[in-house]
Amino acid sequence: HYSRHCHLLSLSTSRNMQRYTSLFALARNVAKNARMLSTSQNVLGSKMTVREAINTALKEELERDKSVFILGEEVAQYDGAYKVTKNLWKTFGDEQVMDTPIAEMGFTGIAIGAAMAGQRPICEFMTFNFAMQAVDQIMNSAAKTHYMSNGRVNVPILFRGPNGASAGVAAQHSQDYAPWYANCPGLKVTAPWSTEDARGLTKAGIRDNDPVVQLENELMYGVSMETSDEAMSSDFIIPIGKAKIEREGTDVTLVSYSISVGDCLDAAEILAKEGISCEVINLRSLRPIDDECIFKSVKKTNHLVTVDRAWP
């Protein structure tokens, strides 16, 4: 009796497993098709994620200029740790999309040397916390060469990757390096918030003849936003050093960059219910910084609050 009971239980378990396996397979296919449909609609329509905005900008620049190439950890065959470089290796191959060893100082030096030789590398850091291994290359080799060569050598390179805190990545992976890079002469520093920022600043950074550090935010990659037809143009560029007023107001100026721009817009909504009108400035660029935009706003509001997630 015990043996028969075990046999029946085994058969039942086997049938259930087969049933569950079929259901899981069906669910995977539905999810896969939904993701494909979502990606297609987002890229072609008026909404897209920040991840897609950067990806499409990279793709267009790789197509436009064969001297542009991407290198970094897992950027090629794995499609990038955060899938920002998805399908680029499949499209452009090893010559323009290159996986590197886990050796930030090494591949950063290779990228800077290539820039000095006339190429336009995009050097991706899996996180800017790992760029600490290469900070000498960035702040000394890349940032200072144009000055030390008396203007004879340009270093057209874009350093990009996620910066700042994310979900559950602990202290060593959660630092915001914006103040560090923004205080380094010779670098231009950008920090996109919206999909429009992501496309326009990525393209501007690639085409610039100076080294550009683009500080993205991991939590923003999956955020979907309305994207204008103008921003979807292959020639859309946001000038480095120009801020944008995201919300006009009269009582207080809120100045921020990257993910904290969203914090300011949320705060502005809450304060509006209390009769306080906030003007929200999205800096977009941290070096050079758009002083004129800030001064003009503060002359109107007479109050200024700066908002960020960096070290105090």
Judge residue 174's burial from the number of C-beta atoms within 10 Å of its C-beta, 0-12 exposed, 13-18 middle, 19 or more buried: middle
Judge residue 128's burial from the number of C-beta atoms within 10 Å of its C-beta, 0-12 exposed, 13-18 middle, 19 or more buried: buried
Q: Is 173 a catalytic residue?
A: yes
CA-closest candidate to residue 209, choices 117, 113, 120: 120
Please state the φ and ψ torsions of residue 57, each to the nearest 5 degrees. Answer: -65, -45
Q: Is 5 a catalytic residue?
A: no
CA-closest candidate to residue 219, choices 180, 258, 190, 175: 258
CA-closest candidate to residue 280, choices 302, 248, 251, 304: 248
Q: What is the CA radius of gyration of the chain?
A: 23
Token pair 């107001």 is at which residue?
249
- Among candidate residues 61, 104, 216, 246, the one labeled active-site is 104
The catalytic site residues sit at 104, 173
